[in-house]
Copies of this chain bind each other. A is one copy, B any other.
Amino acid sequence: MIQSRFVPPSGAFTRSVPVRFSHCDPAGIAYFPHSFDMFNGLIEDWSTQELGHDYAELIMGNKYGFPFVHLECDFKVPSRMGDVIDLTLLVERIGRSSLGIAIVCHRNGIERLRARMTTAMMSLELRKAVPLPQALRAAVEAYCGRTAQ
C-alpha cells in the first residue's frame, strides 16, 4: 500500500483525540461511525475556539442547525485502541449557506483517513436553509486566508 503523507498547513486547526476502548470493535479497530462523531466534535471546537462562534449558542440560542448534505470518506490506515490521532479541519468551499469542509485524520505525517463534507446552515424553526450570517462568513473567510497553501 502506498502511504499518503500529510502535513497540515500552518495555522490549520488541529486537535488530538485518543482512540479509546469504546471506539473499537471486536476486531480491535476503531469502528467507523465513531470517526464521524469525532469530526462533528472537531467542527464544534473549530467554531467555538477558532472562529469565535460558540457552537452550543448557535444551536440552542440562535436555533441554527448544520446538517450534512453530502459526505465522502477514504479510509486508508486503520486506528487501534491506544492510538492518538490528529484531526485537521480545512475549508474547501464557502457557499451562500453551505460550507465544504475537509477533515484529515493523520499521525506522524501519515494520512489515515480523509473526509470531505458539505454542510448547509439551516434555521431549525423555518426548517430551511438560510444564508451564513455575515460575521460567521467573515470568520470562515479569515480562517481560509490563514490556512491557504
Question: Could you tell me which A residues sit within 8 Å of B by CB distance?
Answer: 18, 20-22, 24-29, 31-34, 36-37, 40-41, 44-45, 54-57, 59-60, 65, 67-75, 78, 80-82, 124
Copies in the complex: 4
A29 touches B67 (CB 8 A): yes
**Contact residues in B for A45 (Cβ distance below 8 Å):** 18
B68 touches A71 (CB 8 A): no
**Contact residues in B for A70 (Cβ distance below 8 Å):** 72-75
A28 touches B29 (CB 8 A): no
B73 touches A71 (CB 8 A): yes
B22 touches A37 (CB 8 A): yes
**Contact residues in B for A57 (Cβ distance below 8 Å):** 82
